[in-house]
Amino acid sequence: MFGKRFELFRLFGIPIRLDVSWFVIAGLITWSLATGPFPQFAPGLSIGTYWVMALIGTLGLFASIVLHEFFHAWVARRHEIPMEGITLFIFGGVAEMTAEPASPRAEFRMAVAGPLASIAVGAIALGLAAVGPAWPKMLTGILTYLGVMNLVLAGFNLAPAFPLDGGRMLRAALWRWKQDLQWATSVASRFGKAFSGVLMVLGVFRIAAGDFLGGMWSFVIGLFLFRAAEAAYQHVLVSKVLAGERVSRFMTPNPVTLPPDVTLDDAVDRYFYRHHHSFFPVKDDGRLLGWLSTEELKRVPREEWGRRSVASLVVPCGPDNAIRSDADALAALAVMRRTGRPRLLVVDDGRLMGLVTLRDLLEFFALKVELEA
């Protein structure tokens, strides 16, 4: 879902991250506010004032999204649902869960928390704007915009279309009724796909009517939600299949290892090109030092490969690239999703036991689904 991102700050221990795609939508919103709504909300001000209002309004909108997602994350943590953090990106924001809720009640409470927060912020902002002459026209315009947008944010997210908040509430109700998370997710995701289809068709009609930007935005959001609904259902299926399975079942034992004292040139010629792997564990006299991948190699200019050794680029073992052989396969999958790395070292008490890859896990999932469907 995300590209390059970085952490902005932590809110009560929850990391708030920004994806680089955020700057695209932030620029579009600022431009549209400065040239459209704010001149209507607060007529008679200078162009520079409208741009200042637009910038403040954009930052206020994204602060509102952070607050919306924070309440999701806060309630999730209270129900012991693993929460990786909150990321702002081109489509708004998302609270990143690394596991499904343990019960329908936990799912419902987590889902409803975000819209309730947005409704509260919207009501407060509109109430302050309604004071009227007591506020400067510039401030009233910003408050009116933030109030309306928070209510729109709540309304959109309450649509019964998984994985939107309303769709999660629907899934919670279906889950409680049938006591079957997979079935509930399947039904809720169908609603999500239907809603996505409506957005995409609406986008096509808006483009045909001459509203190209609005139509494209509606179509792209619909497409994103369609894929998100499908991915969420697939995640539930994968979780069901892999639950209780140990990493040791999927790992490749006795992998080829790199010595730390060879040059990068030798490592590429004798290991990467020969074995056709994109990464290798690095061992020195039986002691595991870490790993080296093409990702690290590409950061070093080609002309330096003959002077640099493998030891100078080794990535030490840690929670982002290693896991125990007796760990649950779902834990390995969660690390891969969090880091974006499709492979992990399998390490027990400092000893290299093998390697496990996303492909290993997904091939097992596909085979089991095929044989037991």
What CATH number is attached to the domain comprising 251? 3.10.580.10
Q: Would you state the pLDDT for residue 108? A: 93
Tell me the one-letter amino acid at 41. F
304 is catalytic: no
Task: Verify that 255 and 153 share a domain, yes or no.
Answer: no
Question: Which 3 state secondary structure label does DSSP give 47?
Answer: helix
Q: Would you state the pLDDT for residue 116? A: 94
Query: For the chain, which ranges sit under pLDDT 70?
Result: 1-6, 90-92, 98, 132-134, 368-373
Q: Would you state the pLDDT for residue 133? A: 63
Is 263 among the domain residues? yes
Q: Would you state the pLDDT for residue 117? A: 93
Is 227 among the domain residues? no
Task: Verify that 16 and 113 share a domain, yes or no.
Answer: yes
Is 230 among the domain residues? no
Is 229 among the domain residues? no
Q: Which of 7, 69, 80, 295 is catalytic?
A: 69
Domain residues for the domain of 263 are 247-372
Is 56 among the domain residues? yes
Is 186 among the domain residues? no
Q: Would you state the pLDDT for residue 97? A: 74
Task: Verify that 18 and 142 share a domain, yes or no.
Answer: yes
- Considering its fold, how many domains does the chain have in total? 2
Contact 246, 324 (CB under 8 A): no
Contact 263, 305 (CB under 8 A): yes
- Edge-to-edge strand ranges of the sheet holding 5-11: 5-11, 14-19, 83-89, 92-97
pTM listed for this prediction: 0.75
